Amino acid sequence: MPRKHEEHKQHSFDSYCKKILKYTARNCFAKIRKRGERETLFADMTAQELAALSVTDKYFTDEYIFSVLGGSVGVSDADLAEALNTLPADRRDIVLMSYFFDMTDREIAERLNMARRTVAYQRASTLQELKKLMESEE
């Protein structure tokens, strides 16, 4: 009789282990399925979605810093930075304020105590000069 009792205990333990393994496997597959419903493969993403998730480090790039209105503007293009350096400081500041600080001609004129039309004329003529400088470097 003790032998039958031992066999019964062994069969009960085997059955218990099999149930545990079965339900554990079921839970794992359910977790994987739920995660798959929430996740998106990189291959399925559009270029815009990938760009939104990525970051480009700029540790070792050369950046030229220009000081404008107590702030700084970084220009990473060497040719543009060289062309900007050849300009008179007041004209360079007008271009930098316009394009890097997104300031209007009226705002620039107020900051520099100039007439708005003067700022507009100097910005336009400076851009023409920059264009010529950049084209001559190529």
Is residue 25, in this structure, part of any structural domain at all? yes
Is residue 57, in this structure, part of any structural domain at all? no
Q: Give pLDDT, residue 20.
A: 95
Domain containing 14 equals 1-37
Res. 17: pLDDT tops 90: yes
Res. 37: pLDDT tops 90: no
Supply the CATH number for residue 121's domain: 1.10.10.10
Range 18-39 average pLDDT? 93
Clarify whether residues 78 and 32 are in a common domain: no
Q: Among 14-18, 78-82, 108-112, which is the least confidently predicted range?
A: 78-82
pLDDT tens for 40-94 read: 888 888 888 888 888 877 676 678 888 888 888 888 888 888 888 888 988 999 9
Is residue 45, in this structure, part of any structural domain at all? no
| Predicted structure pTM score | 0.55
Do 84 and 66 form a contact (C-beta atoms < 8 A)? yes
Q: In whole numbers, what is the pLDDT of the chain averaged over residues?
A: 87
Q: Which residues of 17-33 are buried (b: 16+ CB within 10 A; e: fewer)?
A: eeeeeeeeeeeeeeeee
